[in-house]
Amino acid sequence: MSRPSTRRSPGRPRSAATTAPAARPAVLGWGRVDLTGLTAGTGLPLLVGNDATLAGVAEARTGAAAGHATALHLLVDVGIGGALIVDGRPVAGEGGSGGEYGHMPFGDRSLRCPCGARGCWDLEVDGRALARRLGEPSPADPRAYARRVLDRARNEPAAARAVEEVVAALAAGVAGLVNAHAPGVVTLGGLAAALRAAAPGRFAEVYADGLMAFHRAGPPPVLDAVHGEDGALRGAVAVGLDRITTESALADWADRYGRRGC
Residue 157's alpha-carbon distances to 75, 152, 231, 240, 241, in angstroms, are 26, 9, 33, 47, 49
Amino acid 120: pLDDT: 96
The stretch 181-207 carries a mean pLDDT of: 97
Domains and CATH numbers, the chain: 16-257 (3.30.420.40)
Q: List residues bridging with 83 in a β-sheet.
A: 73
pLDDT score of 108: 94
Share of residues in the chain with pLDDT > 90 (%): 60
Q: Give CA–CA dist 203/195, Å, rounded.
A: 9
The model's pTM: 0.78
Average pLDDT over residues 15-30: 49
Q: In what order do the strands lie in the sheet with 70-77?
A: 89-90, 79-86, 70-77, 185-190, 222-224
User: Do 199 and 165 contact (CB within 8 A), yes or no?
Assistant: no
- Among the listed residues 19, 47, 21, 55, the one whose alpha carbon sits nearest the alpha carbon of residue 230: 55
Least confident of 50-54, 92-96, 109-113: 92-96
Q: Which residues pair with 84 in a beta bridge?
A: 72
Least confident residue range of 20-24, 64-68, 168-172, 212-216: 20-24
Q: Is the pLDDT of residue 40 over 60?
A: no
Residue 45's pLDDT band, with cuts at 50, 70 and 90, is: low
For residue range 205-247, list pLDDT tens digits in order.
999 999 999 998 899 999 999 998 888 888 877 777 777 776 5
The closest of 122, 74, 91, 79 to 220, measured between CA atoms, is 74
- Tell me the average pLDDT across 20-39: 51
Top mean-pLDDT range of 7-11, 111-115, 154-158: 154-158
